[in-house]
Structure 1
Amino acid sequence: MKGKLGIVTAGALVGILSALLVKLGNPGNMGVCIACFIRDTAGALGLHRAEIVQYIRPEVIGIVLGAFIISLSQKEFNVRGGSSPFVRFVLGFILMIGALMFLGCPLRMILRLGGGDLNAVVGLVGFTAGIGIGIIFLNKGFSLKRNYKLSKFEGYIFPVLNAALLVLLVSAPAFIFFSKKAPGAEHAPIIISLIVGLVVGIIAQRTRLCMVGGIRDLIMFKDSYLISGFISIFLFATIGNLIFGFYKLGFAGQPVAHVDGVWNFLGMLLAGWCSVLLGGCPLRQLILSAEGNIDSVMTVLGMLLGAAFCHNFSLASSAKGPTVNGMTAVIIGFVVVALISYFNIERTETIKMRGELKNETV
């Protein structure tokens, strides 16, 4: 899958398959949502006790295993880490606060648009604004520093843990929690969800599919390669929803969504800002983790704990709207991300000193 035709084809597959998963049982406009599915998995593992969002989502497992298998076969599995791992963990945690304020990751934002949910338009504007703020800091020299080569064993741990989650899902031991009512109880058959996840993981790894990268590259380099994939997802998700009768244009009454425009905007602004600093959206972080990037694994773990924290302390929104705790958390999130952005700018003097030191040691 090379070139623009490849990523457009990949987007078409993701859009159609996402609509199909909803037809087969997934919640509305939630064929694939990395934030929501990590949140559900955290609940299934008992990290939070919100009974309506507890289920080990096989789509996420499939994405990780698909990307892992294809990266191995293409000799692109490269284990590395050590690039500000704790900062990445914190950014992943805060990213999840923003995503669960909006009720979805960037991928679900596009799928919600494809289902006619106009609240996602507000989210998209906020997301783009957040990326714009992040780009300002990138241009000023923001960096989380370089990473380093690690042993291959360390890179295998994340895919193996996901395989273990699949075993827990299928065997359903008593210590795993499963929702008995929506939306956690709404899911497509395990085997179909897993296959779709594998397909998404493979094509996302081959095409570098990333919503954040798409908007960033369009703004910074006028490069439309990555964004064309998400335009394709939107178009084909719309077609799929029209075919299956799910399309509903408007703000009110949308599935797993709320109509508070201010906090939809701010939630996705926070998610966009975090994502551009991390170098990729939640989907991209999963793909990088599967390829052996341990820094991305730390980001995913931050998202996992962030999701649990959101539901343990009533930060996540619901169809009724955002909570006071959630609003407060988003504001605190902006302060923390602003500090991370500022204090990780590499000053010109520092860069110059590093260059001089390098020349002296050659």
Structure 2
Amino acid sequence: MTLNRRTFLTALAGSSLALTVPGPLAAASLPERFAAARKDDQGNYSAALFDLERGDIREVLLPARGHDVALRPGGSEWVAFARRPGRFGVAVPMDARKPVWFSARPGRHFYGHGVFSADGRLLYTTENDYVGGRGVIGVRDAAAGYRQIGEIPSHGIGPHDLALLSDKRTLVVANGGIQTHPDRRREELNLADMEPSLAYVDLETGDLLERHGHPDELRRLSIRHLTVAGNDIVAFGCQYRGDADDLPPLMGFHRRGETLTVIPAPEETQLTLKNYIGSVTADSDGSVVAASAPKGGVVTYWDPKARRFLGSCSLRDGCGLAPTHKGATFLLTSGEGWLLSGSADGLGPRHSTRFHWDNHAILVR
């Protein structure tokens, strides 16, 4: 399906009859709204704001596959990002106003993630300066149509995910360490000498505050997704680019001034993860972290303070995770169309939709 910009904007007016979720799940989550990217049965890409009672509240058609969504502080709008190596982003108001489209500047592409400043004025996006072979964080003015006003270094290669610490000034960035170029599709160009890292960056100056990498034996453990749990503990998930028979630990935890640690799940669970963590998020009070392994069909749960495994559940192609209003409980989404709640204690009823849900989801309210 070929869509132009006018088609996108026309499709945005009003709600879209897109998601049907049976009553039991809706009744349990009545006040909650979520947003996520997805694909329908005809191969059309979109991102949507929805609740589990009425379905879609607002949908925006996308020109290609989306990845993550960011909520602007104050709740006035949400932003969907293109999946790497896409160049589009779109800010969607909560009301009937038209969306605002923006793109990466020449020589850059998005990695699919972004975060707002605490006051909602600026949007920070992870980007690839593929000409210079370095990672950058794009800085955009949300009040001026998301016009780019600058960029700061990510202090690494392949910045993927990012988050703001509680001081509202420190940005933590997951530098995957893998060099790519859009002309080489998704080929990974530097696996022999990749250097993944967790970098803390001062937003006011762009200066590097701390940078932590793996020991040499874990050099191919790419740091991809992260979340900030209670007490500014950063939990991050990794994707391994070494021998498939290796079983390195995939979940890491760090707090500024401390030592970075990466810990395994229990052996039986570790085997099922397929060396790939797809999404990481903290629950509503920051005391439990969920991490999905879509290639293995597993969602794991962790205590970030104790750096301890809590349990797991099975969900085929389950990747998207969002906190709910209930502590230690998450919305889980699947590429096979499922929506359900999950926790270390087990899963709620599975409910089918006509969408293939993408890698991430967020709680909007």
Q: TM-score, normalised by structure 2?
A: 0.22
From the two aligned structures, give the one with the greater helix fraction: 1
* Structure showing greater relative contact order (alpha-carbon pairs closer than 8 Å, 6 or more residues apart): 1
From the two aligned structures, give the one with the greater strand fraction: 2
